[in-house]
Amino acid sequence: MQIWLTHCNAWAPGYSDVEQWREFTVQSLPAGDEKPAASGVPAILRRRLTRWGRQAFEVAEQFGTDWPDSAPVIFSSRHGDTGRTFKLLQSLANNEPLSPNGFSLSVHNSALGLFSIIKKLQAPTVAMAGGRDTLACAWQEAVSWLRDGAEKVLLIHSEEPLASLYQGYADEREMPAALAVVLATKPLTGSCPVELVCHPGPSSMPDSASQMVGFLDWWFGDAPQWQSHTSRHVWEWRRGSACV
């Protein structure tokens, strides 16, 4: 089955449009406290969101209107909102009451749940994590829905670096960023054919940067393929030359 990538939105501090992303390199990752506008979120809810949630809304906003009920929405994140979870653990350690708002928004599918509520989605939704392979696993999940009859799938991936307490356990270079892609079985203007292949066996030298960092560097570049090396697999993304 031919899979087409019909739309791709990404956001990171200092990067929001295609021309900016074309200048992106894995050697210099953005940082800082900048947050996206997430203007499609009602203000009363936007104030409750951390950057992790806001950037997911920022990249997915344009797809929320009139999204068909038959088209699944997949949300993925390796760590989730560890900054919010860390604050909850601090409260527990200090014998303080937990914030109901903080607790309700700390779960892994919180951003996806709010997105589906605000946009009144009736489509199937899935939230997932898979270690360093998270983006590839979510991509494979999307492809499985397409092979099962869905005409298109929205994939949203949001990452925030680990909270300060956990930084000593980080095993890859990360950055605050979010990505939204639409994968489909039929091309639209501007679409490119894409393929993801999983090669058996772990890589002896996992990539130093996260899978999303490598994907963004590849997708907004010109290379026809890119390999992602993790401790579990070697993933290879390929794009065809027959873009519409």
- The pLDDT tens digits for 211-234 are 999 999 999 999 999 999 998 899
Query: Which domains are seen in the chain, by residue range?
Result: 3-192 (3.40.47.10)
What single DSSP character describes residue 15? Answer: B
What single DSSP character describes residue 95? Answer: T
pLDDT at position 244 over 70:
no
Mean pLDDT taken over the chain: 92
pLDDT band of residue 91 (cuts 50, 70, 90) is confident
For 122-131, the pLDDT digits (tens) are 999 999 999 9
Give per-residue burial for 135-155: e unless 16+ CB within 10 Å, then b: bbbbbebbbebbeeebebbbb
H-type helices in 109-226, by residue range? 110-118, 134-147, 211-219
Burial of 74 (0-12, 13-18, 19+ CB in 10 A): buried
Strands 73-76 and 125-128 turn out to be: parallel
Number of other residues whose CB lies within 10 A of the CB of residue 194: 19
Helix (H, G, I), strand (E, B) or coil at 65: coil
Residue 12 is predicted with a pLDDT of: 97
The pTM of the full predicted model, rounded to 2 decimals, is 0.94
Least confident of 23-32, 196-205, 212-221: 196-205
Strands 234-239 and 125-128 turn out to be: unpaired
Report how far residue 131's alpha carbon sits from residue 75's, in angstroms, rounded to the nearest whole number: 14
